[in-house]
Chain A
Amino acid sequence: MQDKAGKKTSSRSSFFKELGRSISSSWGRFLAIMGIAALGCGFYAGLQMTGMDMRLSADSLYDQTQLYDIRLLSTLGLSDEQVDELRHRDGIEAAMGTYSIDVMANLNDEQYAMRIESLSPELKDQSDGFELVRASALDLHNGEYAQGEQTEAAATNDGIQTQTAATKQAQALNYLVLTQGRFPQTPNECVMSGDRIMGHPIQLGDKVQVLSGVGDIDEQLQERDFEVVGLVSSSVYVSSTNLGPTSIGSGKIEQFMYVVPESFDEDFPISQVYMSVKGARAELAESDSYDDVVARVVQELEADSSRIADDRLAKLKEEAQDTLEEKRQEFDTERDDAYKKLDEAKQELTDAEKELADAEQELADGQQSYDDGVREFEDGKAEFDEQRGVWEQTRSGLTSQRQALVAQQTELEQTRSQLIAAQSQLQAQQAQAAQSQAALAQASQLATQAQQLAAQLAQVEAGLQQVAAGIAQIDAGISEGDTQIVQAQVKIAESQEQLESARLELEQGKRDYEKGLKEYNEGLETYEKERVEAEEKIADAQKKLDDAQTDIDELEAPEIYVLDRTRNPGAESYQQDSERIDNIAQVFPLIFFLVAALVALTTMTRMVEDERQEIGTYKALGYGTARITAKYLAYAALAGGIGAFIGIAILSQILPYIISVAYDIMYSVPIMAFPLPINIPIALTAAALGVGVMLVATWAAAASTLRESPAQLMLPRAPKAGKRILLEHIGPLWRRTSFSWKVSLRNLFRYKRRLAMTIIGIAGCTALLLTGLGLHDSIWDIIDKQFGEIVHYDAVISLDDDADEDVHLRVEEMIAEASESDAMIRTMMLNRQLGSDSHAPISSQVVVPQSNDDMKSLIHLRQRHGAIPIELDASGVVLSEKLSSLLGVSAGDSVRIYEQDDIGNAVGSGKEVRVAAVCENYVYNYCYIDQDLYRELYAGEPIFSTILAKIDTGEEVRSQLAQKLHDVDEIDTVSYNDEVIDSYRKSLRSVNMIVVVLVVAAAALAFIVLYNLTNINIVERTREIASLKVLGFTPHEVNAYVNRETLLLTGIGAAFGLILGTIMEEFVVISSEVDLVMFGREIHPPSFIIAFVVTLGFSLVVMLFMRRKLSSIDMVESLKSVD
């Protein structure tokens, strides 16, 4: 036993010793196998793991930022209760409602379609919680996902507070990663994307001005101006080129910003609910098991979505009904008030009317009495006048009586005076007579006379008295008459005055009446008017109420969209890109494995041949075939295994890293830190495939030799006989071929394995080069052809649909001033979706030019093959190439044009239209429609509100123009293609990296294969080479003799490689193309030349290496004996 064991050990140790010597005596061979194994396995594993690593990286980002699994969107918003309900659904881990709207906004003089979203409103009243959200930002700068919640929780000792905060926190999803600045605190602050590659970079402090949106912005937002206070990275938008669809602007979201919930209007409802699914986080994002977990919840939600919609509808109806009822009551009250007021006014008017009637009566009465008065007065006056006439007569009679009396008086007085005088005389005579008694007689006479005289006097006196009485009587009469007259006169004057004042009063009364009447009439009119108005208003209000009621009654349930991550453009396109790499990973390593197998086969065949005699000896000594084969298998396994290990270890780090770096330009998914995880199943598969292939090749190489008998093996194998090749039968050609070429040609066909290995290897090398270069061509063609050959406008200016002709002309004038070529055209641009029988609708831009001819100078519609121009006419639409190929339609088929909603769904049943032609196009999907066809299709006039213009006067002029255009209110957006081109350039730069990877791989492949080939060639033909040297061939001639073969094979291989490369490039292009972009379909001629020449270059480098080996061949040693 012991003995046996000892023997075994020694036999085993001799086995290993021998193996060790085999290796150390042939490092070149060992390294060649190792190298090709490393390359094959490494490439396979590296590429396979790239997709995996990308997904892992995304998964880690999504998990750490708590990216939602499901987004539930309602076209009519959702209530807080519904958010709560969703939160407590089975399978839902957390739910977060946010406010969100899409707007056009101005930022740095550029306009963007922007999505404004609120940070978690769950925390809106919780200032500490809110802080937590801010703090929970993942710190990318430090390369760590520092979750604020934990640090915060650890920092605060207030358990309860932290717990509530944490509970709230637990409902927050879609954490933002703050890369710069801080989070918004006030309604007029915001954070924006720091990852954008479109347009100018955003700086802290930049101002965003919201211009327009869907509906009344002021009812949706509290603020219209925001200041950028921070830059963030959001896992909701990992793709910086594809943020998702929207119904505004160009149809694509170009920017996003987050604001505090207070930035939204109080009454604005929650737009969407983000949810995470229990158990989903544990699964790898987007893996099948993840999809299973989420799909279940999605299905339930979808099944429930009509109920959610109904609930929302019911709630909205209820709210609306409540509001309506309130309004209705308000209306009723107001109507009643109005009617009451009207009635009062009416009453007042009636009163006034009555008053007026009274006044009128009074006036009439007044008039009447006045008229009576006047008549009376007239009568009185007439009487008076009559009386006065009578009086005048009377008076004049009286006066004449008086005069007569006065005359009588005067006479009487004269008489009296005479009498007095006579009396006096008498008295004097008496007196004298008294003195003269004598005269007594005379006295008596005198006395008688006196007596007579006295009598006479008395008589006169009496007469006088009578007259005086008469006069007095007359005077009294006159006076009385006069008095009476005067009195009558006064009376008349008085009554006249009275009449006058009565008249004035009457007139005043009349005027008052008129005024009153007028007022009344006016009042009446006003009343009528007001009444009509009021009634109209009431009717209006009533109608509004009725309408509102109808609206409420007719209110339709909202659309509820349950969107999983496949509907998140960033996550989905990242996922697809990673799967594209998987596709490529399936194909590329094939070449390496094939070459690895051939390298192993040729190398091991050579090794077995080298050790032919040794094998014979072993066989003769009684070793079994298996034991002998084992050595070679062990050798191959060791070389392959070590190579596979090294290759996998290195390339599974480098390849994913390089490709991730390339994708990093387009995605904000962070690159994983070294060391990247090594996926054991993939690594083992790769190694097993690589080593397996080698073992099979080795076994095949050993088997044929081992079949020979030991005796045969002991003899040197007869040199492989020379053979005539087909070419020799072409006499003239063959005769002109030099010997060296003859040998080379014959050699090529003598060693078929080597021929296959070399041709396939070199073909692989050239193919890789061509793929790399072709990819480069294809991708840069996107820009060069799209913006160099097809699209010739560089500015897109869109105006409001209702902008009038003047504005158009003004804008066009502005453009013409700035542009040298003043080529421009008005078009109608619409965001639509196009679908076909075989394919679901795809977002596309519908372009209706105002003039098909004018468009030619700005958009070259042509077929790609042969660049044949396409005429746009009413016979059908012209589709861009990628669109038509996606839809699976060609000229003559028909497509349907659908409207597109906010989240990128086709709406309605669409319009069917014939496809007239397919035009070359690389970026985005277009559908060109002739305006007549449009009219026919939509039964309406197209509105040409988008101006495409060529502004070829440099950036400065353009930005000035942009400034000027922004001042025109009717302009919605101004965008320049160079921004688009720029962003494409940036995103395509990543391709160069891939090209480098391919070139390096190609070089490695070429070196291994060519080194191996040349090495075997030289080793195998040492004698031949030595003979040539002896014959006097110069080193140069010897090199040429050997290298001619290599060169020839390289040439043939490279030629095959060009074919293979063309196929491979097409495969890569097709499998890496995204929906919106068509890569160039042609590999440029220089690329073919470069690929070919570089391959020859590689082979020349190998030849240079081999020079030394050739010159070191010792003639003497080589010719001594048969090897």
Chain B
Amino acid sequence: MSFVEFHDVCKLYQMGEVEVRAVDGMNFSIEQGEFCVIVGPSGAGKTTVLNMLGGMDTVSSGDILLEGKAISANNERDMTMYRRHDVGFVFQFYNLVQNLTALENVELASQICDDPLDPAEVLGQVGLSHRLDNFPAQLSGGEQQRVAIARALAKNPKLLLCDEPTGALDYETGKQILQLLQQTCRETGKTVVLITHNTAFEQIADRIIRIRGGRADSVETNEHPQDASVLEW
């Protein structure tokens, strides 16, 4: 049994008369502690996959199992609890609460968890111990994304899900963020799932899932992933 398993997962959207199959029989699995990259072109359904995995969206059919538990069978409330305790999200546009300082943004997440990490410590880990009391607007994009990562990590989730985390960042900063994520995966043993359209990122992944047309085109494991610091794209 893998850590994460997708079994014939389908997601249908009803767009007026037309039925769109965003995900159409997705099958893959991810092992615990892996740094997994899901790549695919726009519209391949990768974000839908991530959303369903993160408990933000429901499946139309099929099963998603986390540690053998079918999260796809969760009701609304279980789903919320799942998001609260098991998942950490990092978005392309950070989605920080503008009105809270870096520390407070992290605390916002940690306060609702059962077993959170110390927010200041986590911020230290992402290299922001000197900006604890800054508001998001006072931080650079990379710093904001670090806060977002810290916020996701502070919940001490089983799964860290990142949706194009470098999409809004410049090359250098993006690389630093990738480094941070890879490092986090390595050091804390958290399973990280990152989606991107950038195939270059395949090099740093333990597992690469290529998606096309709502299906997993190929699932590969990379025995010797590259270090993010030397990645170039």
Contacts and interface: CB of A to CB of B under 8 A. Distances in A.
B54 interface: yes
Contacts of B84: 1031-1034
B206 interface: no
B2 interface: no
Interface string A1103-1123: 000000000000110011110
Interface residues of A, number: 32
B93 A1122 contact: yes
Nearest to A1111: B76
A733 to B, nearest CB: 15
Contacts of B47: 1116, 1120
B80 interface: yes
B54 A1030 contact: yes
A718 B85 CA distance: 31
B99 A1030 contact: no
Interface string B129-151: 00000011110000000000001
Contact of A723 (B57, B80, B135): B135
B107 interface: yes
A754 to B, nearest CB: 14
B83 A1032 contact: yes
A171 to B, nearest CB: 81
Contact of A1031 (B77, B83, B93): B83
Interface string B147-163: 00001000100000001
A1032 B57 contact: no
B112 A722 contact: no
A565 interface: no
A1034 B135 contact: no
Interface in A699-745: 718-723, 738-739, 742-743
B137 A719 contact: yes
Contact of B89 (A721, A723, A746, A1030): A1030
Contacts of B20: none
Nearest to A721: B137
Contact of A1032 (B85, B99, B107, B135): B85
Nearest to B161: A1030
B99 A1034 contact: no
B100 interface: yes
Interface in B49-88: 51, 54, 56-57, 77, 80-85, 87
A1029 B89 CA distance: 11
Contact of A719 (B51, B82, B98, B104): B98
Interface stretch (A56-64, A229-237, A534-542, A1020-1028): A1020-1028
B108 interface: yes
Contacts of A743: 97, 99-100
A1119 B91 contact: yes
Interface in B88-124: 89, 91, 93, 95-101, 104, 107-109, 111-113
B80 A1024 contact: no
Nearest to A743: B99
A1119 B93 contact: yes
Contacts of A1121: 93
Contacts of B97: 743, 1024, 1027-1028
B54, B77, B84, B111, most chain A CB atoms within 10 A: B84
B83 A1030 contact: yes
A365 interface: no
- A-side binding surface: helix, strand, loop or mixed? helix
Contacts of A739: 100, 104, 107-108, 111
Nearest to B111: A739
Given A718-B137, A746-B99, A1115-B56, A1034 B80 contact: yes
Contacts of A1033: 80, 84, 112
Nearest to A1115: B56
Nearest to A720: B98
A722 B101 contact: yes
Contacts of A1023: 93, 95
B137 A722 contact: yes
Contacts of B137: 718-719, 721-722
Contacts, number: 93
A1028 to B, nearest CB: 8
B156 to A, nearest CB: 12
Given A719-B98, A723-B135, A743-B99, A1032 B80 contact: yes
A1032 B154 CA distance: 13
A722 B85 contact: no
A185 interface: no
A351 interface: no
A1031 B108 contact: yes
A722 B135 contact: yes
B186 to A, nearest CB: 25
Given A738-B111, A739-B108, A1116-B51, A722 B77 contact: no
A1037 B112 contact: yes
A750 B56 CA distance: 30
Nearest to A719: B98
Nearest to A750: B99
A576 interface: no
A863 interface: no
Contacts of A367: none
A373 B83 CA distance: 175
Contacts of A1030: 54, 56, 83, 89, 95
Interface in A667-707: none
Nearest to A718: B137
A747 interface: yes
B99 A747 contact: yes
A186 B54 CA distance: 99
Contacts of A1115: 51, 56-57
A269 B100 CA distance: 92
Given A721-B135, A722-B137, A743-B99, A1034 B77 contact: yes
Given A722-B100, A1116-B56, A1027 B80 contact: no
Interface in B194-218: none
A743 B98 CA distance: 9
B135 to A, nearest CB: 4
A68 B97 CA distance: 75
A738 B155 CA distance: 17
Contacts of B57: 1115-1116
B71 to A, nearest CB: 13
Nearest to B94: A1027
A1029 B82 CA distance: 11
Interface string A429-454: 00000000000000000000000000
Nearest to A1026: B95
A1035 B98 CA distance: 21
B103 to A, nearest CB: 10
A1020 B119 CA distance: 27
A1031 B100 contact: no
Interface in A1022-1065: 1023-1024, 1026-1035, 1037
Nearest to B135: A722
A212 to B, nearest CB: 83
B136 A722 contact: yes
Contacts of B104: 739, 742
Given A739-B100, A750-B99, A1122-B93, A721 B51 contact: no
B112 A1032 contact: yes
A1120 B99 CA distance: 21
Nearest to B105: A739
15 contacts: A739-B108, A746-B99, A746-B100, A750-B99, A1024-B98, A1027-B91, A1027-B97, A1029-B80, A1030-B56, A1031-B108, A1031-B109, A1032-B82, A1032-B85, A1032-B113, A1119-B163
Which 7 residue pairs across A and B have the least CB separation, nearest first?
A1032-B84, A721-B137, A722-B135, A1032-B83, A1027-B95, A722-B99, A746-B99
Given A738-B111, A1023-B93, A1028-B108, 20 more contacts: A719-B136, A722-B99, A722-B100, A739-B108, A739-B111, A743-B100, A1024-B95, A1026-B95, A1029-B80, A1029-B83, A1031-B83, A1031-B89, A1031-B109, A1031-B112, A1032-B84, A1032-B87, A1032-B112, A1116-B51, A1120-B47, A1122-B93
